[in-house]
Amino acid sequence: MRAYERLLQYARVYTTSDPESGTHPSAAREFDLAHMLVEEMKNLGIEDARVDEHCYVYGTLPATPGCEKLPALGLIAHMDTAPDASGENVNPILHENYDGNDVTLPATGMVMKTSTFPFLKELKGETLITTDGTTLLGADDKAGVAEILTAAETLLAEGRPHGKVCIAFTPDEEIGEGASLFDIPGFGADFAYTVDGGDVGGIEYENFNAASAKAVIHGINVHPGDAKDKMKNASLIAMEFNAMLPADQRPDCTEGYEGFFHLTEMKGEVEHAELSYIIRDHDALKFAEKKKTIQDAADAINAKYGENTIELAVADSYYNMKSQIAPDYLFLIDEACEAMKELGVEPKVQPIRGGTDGARLSFMGLPCPNLCTGGANFHGVHEFIPVESMEKMVAVLVELMKRPAGV
In a domain, 103, yes or no: yes
Q: How far apart are CA 173 and CA 175, in angstroms?
A: 5
Nearest-angstrom CA–CA distance, 233 and 170:
43
348 domain residue, yes or no: yes
Q: Which of 276, 302, 318 is the C-terminal boundary of a domain?
A: 318
What distances in angstroms separate CA 312 from CA 211, 278, 308, one per listed residue? 13, 13, 9
Instruction: Cite the beta strand spans of 220-369 per DSSP E.
Output: 260-268, 272-281, 310-318, 348-349
Same domain for 128 and 66, yes or no, is yes
Each residue's pLDDT expressed in tens, for the chain with a length of 407 residues: 999 999 999 999 999 999 999 999 999 999 999 999 999 999 999 999 999 999 999 999 999 999 999 999 999 999 999 999 999 999 999 999 999 999 999 999 999 999 999 999 999 999 999 999 999 999 999 999 999 999 999 999 999 899 999 999 999 999 989 999 999 999 999 999 999 999 999 999 999 999 999 999 999 999 999 999 999 999 999 999 999 999 999 999 999 999 999 999 999 999 999 999 999 999 999 999 999 999 999 999 999 999 999 999 999 988 999 999 999 999 999 999 999 999 999 999 999 888 888 999 999 999 999 999 999 999 999 999 999 999 999 999 999 999 866 55
Q: Give the DSSP letter of residue 253.
A: G
Nearest-angstrom CA–CA distance, 141 and 153: 19
Same domain (yes/no): 352, 223:
no
Cα four-point dihedral sign 117, 123, 129, 132: positive
Q: Residue 35: inside a domain, yes or no? A: yes
Domain finish residue from 253, 284, 318: 318
The gap from C-alpha 370 to its chain's centroid, in whole angstroms, comes to: 10
How far, in Å, are 186, 197, 367 from residue 167 at the CA level? 11, 17, 15
Cα(139)–Cα(75) distance, integer angstroms: 17
Would 407 be classed as within a structural domain? no
> Is 80 part of the annotated catalytic residue set?
yes
Q: pLDDT tens for residues 236-292?
A: 999 999 999 999 999 999 999 999 999 999 999 999 999 999 999 999 999 999 999
Q: Which of 18, 40, 140, 173 is catalytic?
A: 173
* Gap between the Cα atoms of 276 and 211, Å rounded: 11
Give 170's contacts (C-beta < 8 A, 6+ positions apart).
56, 57, 76, 77, 78, 79, 80, 178, 179, 182, 357
Note the pLDDT of residue 129: 98
Residues 162 and 87 in one domain: yes
Active site residue 173: yes
Same domain, 296 and 333: no
Residues 191 and 266 in one domain: no
**Which residue type does 69 have?**
K
**54 and 21: one domain?**
yes
Please count the other Cβ atoms lying within 10 Å of the Cβ belonging to residue 343.
Answer: 13
Domain shared by 271 and 386, yes or no: no
* Domain's final residue, options 318, 344, 361: 318
Q: What are phi and psi of 352, to 5 degrees?
A: -85, 125
Interval 344-382: pLDDT, tens: 999 999 998 888 889 999 999 999 999 999 999 999 999
Residue 161: closest CA among 68, 44, 43: 68
Q: Which CATH number goes with the domain that contains 270? A: 3.30.70.360
Kindly state whether residue 300 falls inside one of the protein's structural domains: yes
Residues of 4-39 as b/e, b for ≥16 C-beta within 10 angstroms? bebbbebbebbbbbbbeeeeebbbebbbebbebbbe
Q: Are residues 118 and 235 in the same domain?
A: no
Is 127 inside any structural domain? yes
Structural domain contains residue 349:
yes
Number of domains in the chain: 2
**Domain limits for position 303:** 209-318
Specify whether 130 is located in the same domain as 253. no
Say whether both 105 and 236 belong to one domain: no
How far apart, in whole angstroms, are the C-alpha atoms of residue 42 and residue 19?
31
In sequence order, what are the residues at sequence separation of 6 or more whose Cβ sits closer than 8 angstroms to the Cβ of residue 115?
Answer: none
Residue 362 in domain: yes
Residues 365 and 233 in one domain: no
Name the catalytic one among 18, 30, 40, 80.
Answer: 80
Residues 8, 151 within the same domain: yes
The per-residue pLDDT for 317 is 85
Task: Give the CATH number for residue 110.
Answer: 3.40.630.10
Q: Residue 169: CB partners within 8 Å, gap ≥ 6?
A: 34, 37, 56, 57, 76, 77, 78, 79, 145, 148
